[in-house]
Structure 1
């Protein structure tokens, strides 16, 4: 378009002041250049915009039509500038948050209100994920930042541990071990295990496998399922036991009980994950809120937007 915002601003200033001289003072510029701007604008439009009178400048019909639209254009432009500044500063925008099924009942009721307070003008969208789909959903931009458990290992993903979930043994409520307040790991010897997915091809590298190895306990993996919910359904069906995160208790079906493992310090890490090439000022606030709510120790911290930006400037 031939009309710059600067020209429209000059035009509106003259229209509202009713005088080139008064408008020039308001714009902190000399009167002759402002008169030149107005004449050039009239030449571009091909019509007079003002009646020049002894008492000042009065809008013509063409000028009145332009005045209404010029004010709207300037208002929209200012709104656009402010929106861009707000989004760049992390005060406004849209954040699509993915979460594992097992974290829903236990994490979202605490996390979402804290995010609403910390990011009041940011639109939040929530997407359910599973351990086998979370990487693809983040990499495909369907999810901006995901809460994953276990922590993904893809090189294209940045991660930050934001919390942890202690290990629990899920079993039928009528199982012998359900009468114990805490289950000694050696008592798992020979039991049937319903395993959870691992991001690594070798399942023996999982947290549960390492725990059993450390205690020299062998369990028969009879099934490996995609979600904690599926594992507990099979537990309820009598297919075996499952070692699950403590948060699974929030959605455990009737007939399934969870017990802690005695003297077991290990826990499942919950990591915030996002594309390594993502440039968003919303990542740092999200991680900070999640850590504040769930009290995570700081580890496995990949470069965030702020840190990446500092290195590139």
Structure 2
């Protein structure tokens, strides 16, 4: 026998609650004969009568009563499932794993969390710590739904949306002669050792810092290359060189390291939301709105 479908259960529940095929048919906005056929087919599938005729209408049998409670539960669960699917499909519910880089955490997370809770109150949010080395893998392996990255990722299969920017500053030891200057002429850095960060796709020509130095014909040998801006600051403190970093890196600077702006140069590094380009989720659009709002706020 075929398993009864949800429509048959809905018809059965209507008859059981109305105690009349005629009243149930009107409630279901259908003719009475096909409803009677559905009930007979349901009884045939179960192998037992579900109703018996009485003076006061259709009385439910013991078999019918056993089915009635479970049928209502099944319909309720099905409706809840449909509602949940609609909510997820509309972007009002679901789960979002957000990757953030350490250097951006204090700048972005407090404001982003407040924006997400305001606009997506029923979405489960999880935060995952990333760096410039593991962020691509975290996105492509779906460990995170979306990542906030600086600089943006430039990889096939990863969608990128710019959501803000940060000015580039020079990080130096506080006892350096450069620290006594209110702003730094870029030419003053020629020949100084630079603590370098990972370059996009391993191509140094795609680095924002490299492009800036080349544009102004300033040569800085790479003393060391590190994975994170926190490590870059530690090496600046150790006297291994200077670092050119986005302003957000100031939040975690150790004592003994200061930041100075460049003189006459308006250089910035973009902040972007990055996600798998084949991830077609309704949560992306509201997330981008929240991220932009978080970065706009003072």
Render the CA deviation track for 1:106-127: whole Å, top value 9, x for unaligned: 1111112111111111111111
Asked if residue 21 in structure 1 is aligned to residue 38 in structure 2, the reply is no
Asked whether the 8 Å contact 2:115–2:293 carries over to 1, the reply is: no
Render the CA deviation track for 1:136-168: whole Å, top value 9, x for unaligned: 111111111111222222111111111111101
The correspondence of residues 1-313 of structure 1 with structure 2, limited to 5 A, is 2-295=3-296
| SS of the residue 1:150 aligns to | coil
| SS of the residue 1:25 aligns to | helix
Asked whether the 8 Å contact 1:162–1:295 carries over to 2, the reply is: no
TM-score scaled by length of structure 2: 0.95
Question: Displacement of 1:204 after TM fit?
Answer: 4.0
| SS of the residue 2:97 aligns to | strand
Question: Displacement of 1:88 after TM fit?
Answer: 0.9
Render the CA deviation track for 1:3-28: whole Å, top value 9, x for unaligned: 01011001111111111111111111
Quick one: distance in 1 between partners of 2:173 and 2:19? 84
Which shows bigger deviation, 166-175 or 200-209?
200-209
Quick one: distance in 2 between partners of 1:11 and 1:17? 10
| SS of the residue 1:110 aligns to | helix
TM-score scaled by length of structure 1: 0.91
Quick one: distance in 2 between partners of 1:235 and 1:133? 23
Question: Displacement of 1:39 after TM fit?
Answer: 1.3
Render the CA deviation track for 1:225-263: whole Å, top value 9, x for unaligned: 000011011111111111111111111122222121122
Asked whether the 8 Å contact 1:150–1:198 carries over to 2, the reply is: no
What count of residue pairs does the alignment treat as equivalent? 296
Asked whether the 8 Å contact 2:107–2:248 carries over to 1, the reply is: yes
Unaligned segments of structure 1, at least 5 residues: 297-313
RMSD: 1.5
Question: Displacement of 1:295 after TM fit?
Answer: 4.1
